[in-house]
Structure 1
Amino acid sequence: MKNLILFIILGMLTLISCSKDDTTTDATINKKPITRTKDGTVYSYTYDGNKIIQCIDNNADHYIKKWVYTYTGDLITKEDIYTNNVLQKSYEHTYENNKIATSIVKDYSTSSIYQSKSVYTYNTDTTVDRQIYSYGTNTWVKSRSVKYTILNGHITIEKILGTTDGSPSYTTVFEYDTKNNVFKNVLGFDKLIYKTDNERDDTKFNTINNITKYYSTPSYGELNFTFNYDTDGYPISKTWYNGNSISTETYTYQ
């Protein structure tokens, strides 16, 4: 009788394990991208352990764009963007309770440094409010705001709100796969709610899974992504129609 009960329990555990999603969860798999190629442009990444140090884009137009990351502990507190070794823009982040609290953006590409700031408020209904400010006449002036809906670690809805009545003026809905995101093992990326520049457009809002589709109203329409994965469930390529032609992105890992 004991053997029969043990056999039944083992059988149930086998069924449960087979019914789980096929996303790789093996903690020993610590893949990180070393190159990302998008429409012929190659982005090269370097790391210190699981911390990203920099990303370099050797553009075919003969300029070099570089992103440099600064950590405090395991959190990214600064991102500097250079073109041909000239600082163009920086993002400075602060955190509270292991969540991003503020981001200050400084744009050095203009004659006078333009600054903007985002302040985040975490609500009890799975939403996050992002209030954006611009800096002028020695003070921060409230600008537009954004509301994110977060489910299972994913931003599923982004609403750009009007500056006057707070009603949505632009809404984007995101859908995801159940596979591993290319930056899943890079520390700090999961805390950055919005992308800073297009070196991370494949991981916008998320480093758990991959965005397979997003659609916006009232005007932008729909964009779909098709992925190919390796045997560990990490993407090796992504394709989508950009409105004029098929765009392709490929990844290699260390």
Structure 2
Amino acid sequence: MKKAYLLLPVFFLASCSSSNDDTDSSNNNQNNNDNSPVLVTKMVADGETSTYTYNGSKISQIKNITNGEVTSFSYSGDLITQQVTTGSSTSYKTTYVYDGSSRLSKKTYSETYLTSGTISTVETNYNYLSGNSVKITYTASFTGSSAVRTGSKTATLNADGSLSSWTETASVPSNTGGFHSATGALQPIVYDTKNVPFKNITGFLKIIDTEDENGSVHNILSYNHVLNYNNGAGSGEWGIFKCVYEYNSSGYPTKNVKTYYNKTGTGVTNSEMNTYEYNHL
């Protein structure tokens, strides 16, 4: 998914520490003005500034002031059905379909390069095996290429329906032709007990299968996903990071420092800082 900094692509080891952690507010929507929900209105993510507008508690638009991209959202009832990002050279579109229990059943993401007209697409389907287990299958393709990537994740959900972990198999196209078979896992995600910045956006918690769309009302403290290519060369994909948060008096993050690690989780590769502003506390 395009990283539009809402539906906060997208690949830790030790649990993170937190500062200003004096309020346990796992379900705390309190504010110091009225009873309207706390909503994020501005985010500075690794130097890029985005503003958020709403229709009630439904997200309507995110505008990236830094690069000019604008993301618009559509709803059916209280469910997010589409988000479209328009940029100067690329556009991004994600559509969401739900089952009769309002659970995400299909997600289709497309990325269009405006100058060439080429399109990359990822289609993801969700089959709920039990109350806390879902099989996630995906197919990724690119205009003009026969090298289609496929994969399957058997995911475990927490009691609140948020993402916990998964095991994964995949067939990944090789740069030299053919495919790599791949196996991997997402280790159980560690969450804090505070409020995720996007907690009160209508429909946000229905989206459950990525780092930033995990269905939790809480913030990720540690995340460890590794997919190994079984090619004898030690190649693969990974997303390993840990976070340190500062919170406001209502238990929402005002600052997040995210540190990324190498495949073994032993060396720092990068870090970024995100800050958040809200309509009120």
Quote the RMSD (CA, aligned, Å). 2.8
- The SS at the match of 1:204 is coil
Which of 231, 241, 244 in structure 1 is aligned with 2:259?
241
Asked whether 1:159 is paired with 2:167, we answer yes
- From 13, 16, 28, the counterpart of 1:25: 28
The answer to which structure has the higher helix fraction is: 1
- State the Cα deviation string for residues 64-104 of structure 1 (Å, max 9, x = none): 112111101111111111103x7612111111111111112
The percent identity for this pair of structures is: 22
Q: How far off is 1:249 after superposition?
A: 0.9
2:41 aligns with: 34
**Deviation at 1:211?**
0.2
Cα distance in structure 2, aligned partners of 1:229 and 1:30? 17
Contact 2:205 2:213 in 1 (8 A): no
Aligned letter for 1:234? Y
Structure 1: gaps spanning 5 or more residues: 1-19, 196-200
Q: How does the TM-score come out when normalised to structure 2? A: 0.69
Q: Is the 8 A contact 1:159 1:168 kept in 2?
A: no
- Residue by residue, what CA displacement relative to the aligned partner does 1:141-196 show, whole Å, maximum 9, x if unpaired? 782122221113321113332349xx97121221100111100100111111235x
**Residue 78 of structure 2: aligned partner:** 74
Aligned residues: 220
Residue of structure 2 in register with 1:98 after alignment = 102
Q: Answer whether contact 1:182 1:207 (CA < 8 A) is retained.
A: no
1:221–1:44 CA distance, 2 compared to 1 (3 A)? closer
Whichever residue aligns with residue 91 of structure 1, its letter is T
SS across alignment from 1:225: strand
Encode CA deviations 1:106-164: one digit per residue, 9 max, x unaligned. 32225343333211100116111111134689xxx782122221113321113332349
In structure 2, the partner of 1:228 is 246
Contact map agreement 2:29 2:38 (CA 8 A) in 1: no
Q: What is the DSSP-based 3-state SS (H/G/I as helix, E as strand, rest coil) of the residue aligned with 1:190?
A: helix
| Distance in 1 separating the partners of 2:61 and 2:165 | 30
Q: Which residue of 1 aligns with 2:20?
A: none
Query: d(CA) in 1 for partners of 2:252 and 2:221?
Result: 14
C-alpha separation between the residues in 2 aligned to 1:22 and 1:55?
26
- Determine if contact 1:183/1:207 at 8 Å carries over to the other structure: no
Describe how 1:155-234 pairs up with structure 2 within 5 A. 155-163=163-171, 169-173=183-187, 174-195=189-210, 203-217=212-226, 220=238, 222-234=240-252
> Which one of the candidate residues 117, 121, 130 is aligned to 1:124?
130
- Return the index of the structure with the highest Cα Rg: 1
2:255 partner SS: strand
Deviation at residue 49 of structure 1 after TM alignment: 0.3
Q: Is the contact between residue 39 and residue 247 of structure 1 (CA under 8 Å) also seen in structure 2?
A: yes
**CA shift in 2, pair 1:71/1:125, >3 Å:** closer
Alpha-carbon displacement from aligned partner over 1:188-227 (angstroms, at most 9, x marks no partner): 11111235xxxxx6x4313400000112346747421011
Q: Secondary structure at the match of 1:178?
A: coil
Q: 1:143 to 1:236 in 2, by over 3 A?
A: same
Contact 1:227 1:238 in 2 (8 A): yes
The whole-number CA distance in structure 2 between the counterparts of 1:143 and 1:245 is: 29
- Distance in 2 (CA, whole Å) between partners of 1:104 and 1:172 is 22
- C-alpha distance 147-185 of structure 1, shift in aligned 2 (>3 A): same
Which consecutive unaligned segments of at least 5 residues does structure 2 have? 1-22, 173-180, 229-235, 261-267
Q: Tell me, in whole angstroms, the C-alpha distance in 2 between the residues paired with 1:222 and 1:35.
A: 26
